Amino acid sequence: MIFNIQRFSTHDGDGIRTVIFYKGCPLRCLWCSNPESQSFDYSVMYDKSRCKNFGDCIKADNKTITRIKNNGIQINRELIKKPEKLKNVCASKALTISGESKSVDELLAEIEKDTPFYQNGGGVTLSGGEPLSHGEELITLLQKLKERNINVNIETSLYVNWRNVDKCIGLVNTFLVDLKHTDKDKFKSFTQGDAGLVMDNLIKLTDSETHVIVRIPVIPGFNFSENEMKQIIEFVTSLKNVNEIHFLPYHTYGVEKYKMLGLNYTFGNKKQIQDSELLPFIQYAQSKGLKTKIGG
């Protein structure tokens, strides 16, 4: 299942790219800017600013959706059995269902729409969610992309079984690996994952001589300190075949989406990080011989 296809992406690898966002991620970082990407199932999203109180959603499912005093609706998401049935009920698209099942061929057709623009190193980027949690279908897609000579990047947290990674080697041009932290406790307290697995996988992946770019989300209160960042950069330096590192500064563009999903954004009121604040890390990484970039 995917939740978005974004054409003309210019910051998820070289050239002009189409990004396929897979739905479902086991890591669930607290600062996640795409909260609809976490669930492997459909997500019910409600954008109150678009709601015109037509009431068609209530007609479709009056057990779980109720009106709030003629202005907007309340949704009891846990009780919705078949969210996909709500997909096209709202004319103004205030209520939408995130998540779409697409066959490999359908995805290919979407990807190939922008083939003329994939010159100068462009292509497709598989992102998410966690694309590597998507098993056999992903492999089929990768094989067909390779047949068509379309450049493939995968954006992954590597928090998956090594088998899932291994199968992709040789089919992917570049892995963009999100490395959030090297401190296991810290990693654990901000995500549902395990830094050990991530680092093990990263070592194996880089040993395989695949092209890997490491990307570090710079998150206030999590890894945004000189010491922690040094530790992370040093780990990257110890890897074979990695010569490029990207810093992805924390932003709050996704906060509205938590509301739409009926979720609380528990990460709190943190300020967005300005590019200039990354300067010391960039200098440190460069001193270790790494190529750097802000924002990918």
Residues that bind other proteins (CB under 8 A): 6-11, 15-16, 52-54, 88, 91-93, 113-114, 116-117, 119-120, 122, 253, 295
For the bound state, the minimum distance from the C-beta of residue 255 to other proteins, rounded and expressed in Å, comes to: 15
For the bound state, the minimum distance from the C-beta of residue 52 to other proteins, rounded and expressed in Å, comes to: 6
DSSP H/E element including 226: helix 226-238
User: Of the two residues 25 and 95, which places its CB atom closer to other proteins in the complex?
Assistant: 95
Helix 135-147 / helix 104-112 crossing angle, nearest 10 deg: 40
User: Of the two residues 50 and 271, which places its CB atom closer to other proteins in the complex?
Assistant: 50
Kindly give the pairing relationship between strand 123-127 and strand 95-98.
unpaired
User: Of the two residues 221 and 295, which places its CB atom closer to other proteins in the complex?
Assistant: 295
For the bound state, the minimum distance from the C-beta of residue 209 to other proteins, rounded and expressed in Å, comes to: 27
User: Of the two residues 40 and 117, which places its CB atom closer to other proteins in the complex?
Assistant: 117
User: Of the two residues 51 and 171, which places its CB atom closer to other proteins in the complex?
Assistant: 51
Six-digit token pair at 245? 């590192």
Could you tell me which of 140, 55, 119 has the C-alpha nearest to residue 90? 55
User: Of the two residues 205 and 248, which places its CB atom closer to other proteins in the complex?
Assistant: 248
**CA–centroid distance for 73 within its chain:** 29
Could you tell me which of 154, 137, 216, 135 has the C-alpha nearest to residue 17? 154
Which residues on adjacent β-strands are paired with residue 155? 176
For the bound state, the minimum distance from the C-beta of residue 261 to other proteins, rounded and expressed in Å, comes to: 19
For the bound state, the minimum distance from the C-beta of residue 270 to other proteins, rounded and expressed in Å, comes to: 19
CA dist 17 and 63 (Å) reads 42
For 190, residues 6+ apart whose C-beta sits below 8 A from its C-beta are: 29, 30, 31, 180, 181, 219, 222
For the bound state, the minimum distance from the C-beta of residue 282 to other proteins, rounded and expressed in Å, comes to: 15
Cβ contact 155:178 at 8 Å: yes
User: Of the two residues 118 and 267, which places its CB atom closer to other proteins in the complex?
Assistant: 118
For the bound state, the minimum distance from the C-beta of residue 55 to other proteins, rounded and expressed in Å, comes to: 9
For 241, residues 6+ apart whose C-beta sits below 8 A from its C-beta are: 206, 207, 209, 210, 211, 212
DSSP H/E element including 256: helix 255-260
